[in-house]
Amino acid sequence: MAIELSQQLRHYQPKFHGLALGMTLGIGSTFLSQGCAATGACPACGACAARLPLLAVPFLLDGAVMLAGKVMAKREAEEG
Amino acid sequence: MYPRLYRKLLPNWLKRFGFFLLGVVMLYAPFALLTRLLLAITNVPSNADVHSVCLRMPIQWLAQPWMYATMFEKPVYLVAVLVLPVIALFLGPLFCGWLCPAGGMTEYLSRLVPPRFQINMTGKVNPVPIRYGFMFGMMGVAFIGGNACCSFCNFTHAQNLINALFGNMLGLQYWASFAVVSFILWFFVLGLFTRGGRGWCNFLCPAGALMGFAHWAGAKLKVSRYVKIDRSACNNCGLCATYCPTLAIQKNGERSEVNAHACNICMDCKIVCPSRAISYSAPQALQSPAPLPAGEPAGD
């Protein structure tokens, strides 16, 4: 079971990386596209600060999947 | 200088170019004929330009239940989340490959740039997870109230360029903001200087992602027409993958496969295939048996 899951995780790892990269771009685009960021006309509405933690979500998800894959691979090696 | 098969593809490109012009006339100001018709039918007072049939915001609104009422009050917004995905479910994302003027603009202009100056991502990147990730990221932000507004939209950039062609420079004011970066990314980096000219569509178009998902679901459920490769006829030369603008065809070991998530039914692959192994057809379950030649008995 653990071996199968480990293989599955390895197979889907590049897709998870892609998904995380896309999510980061998607979230990041909402910061930069408001028209205030690049003009120096930030109205200090607080929206950026409220959304900032969201940027960490894709990294955390991708990291969790990667870590799970590594743990599984280690157990797989230990089991033989 | 240019790949020799460009000449073979020219009739298909001209045919599709006609449809892209139709897309401009249907959706983009100053014409916006379909937009005007939809606005008149739904009795919504609004400017008749591409913003009235926005394909991005309604996708974000899917993650904003408090916006559902707006969508039903102005049914023109259902085009992005209902009409086009339903068409894609049964026929594939024909809108992307045959009508979308924003995608068509960069695709056609990229044909003028010699390929040696272009980024070639064929076989190197799988754009599908990135495009879905972009859509989920945008929707996730929308759930807590943020939006990716018009300055990050290639549809808006294309509308601004068309407006400028007709003497209306007002839209170019967007370029005073971050829009200049997204314009350079869409038009130059992922457009003219990417092989196929569809980099933005492949990686950053949420409407394309939704239609791609619908197309994949239709192919899985065997209700959709889709592009497929006859493995018995395919000689695995890889030409289809080389000429696919959406990176939808990838060589997988001894065979090539069409990824329904990414394919936009442009049919360039079918034309360049030397062994005629590619077809755009209904799934086997829906096909009626081919008629027998005259005089031949049915069965044994």
Please list the ranges in chain A whose pLDDT falls under 70.
1-2, 32-45, 80
pLDDT of residue A8: 82
Nearest to B177 among A23, A38, A51 (CB): A38
pLDDT of residue B283: 75
pLDDT of residue A33: 62
Nearest-Cα residue of chain A relative to residue B153: A33
pLDDT of residue A41: 62
Q: Is B271:B13 a contact under the CB 8 Å cutoff?
A: no
pLDDT of residue A34: 62
Residues spanned by the domain of B17: 6-216
Please list the ranges in chain B whose pLDDT falls under 70.
1, 145, 176, 284-300
Dihedral sign, CA of A15, B224, B81, B183? positive
Instruction: Work out how many domains chain B is built from and give that number.
Output: 2
Note the pLDDT tens digit of each residue in B82-130: 999 999 999 999 999 999 999 999 999 999 999 999 999 998 999 999 9
Q: Is B80:B58 a contact under the CB 8 Å cutoff?
A: yes
Bridge partners of B226, per DSSP, are B281
Distance CA B164, CA B177 (A): 18
Chain B nearest CA to A44, separation (Å): 15
- B210 and B230 in one domain? no
pLDDT of residue B286: 44
Six-digit token string for B29: 């100001």
Six-digit token string for B50: 């591409």
Sketch the domain layout of chain A as residue ranges.
Answer: 2-35+45-79
- B206 and B254 in one domain? no
CA neighbor of A26 nearest in space, from B148, B146, B125: B148
pLDDT of residue B46: 77
Which residues in chain A touch residue B140, judged by CB atoms under 8 angstroms apart? 23, 26-27, 54, 57
Q: Is B148:B141 a contact under the CB 8 Å cutoff?
A: yes
- B259 and B207 in one domain? no
Nearest-Cα residue of chain A relative to residue B150: A33
- B244 and B110 in one domain? no
Has residue B244 been placed in a domain?
yes
* Residue A33: other Cβ atoms inside 10 A: 23
Which residues in chain A touch residue B144, judged by CB atoms under 8 angstroms apart? 50-51, 54
CATH code: domain of residue B238: 3.30.70.20
- B188 and B73 in one domain? yes
Question: Does residue B145 belong to the interface with chain A, where contact is any CB pair within 8 Å?
Answer: yes
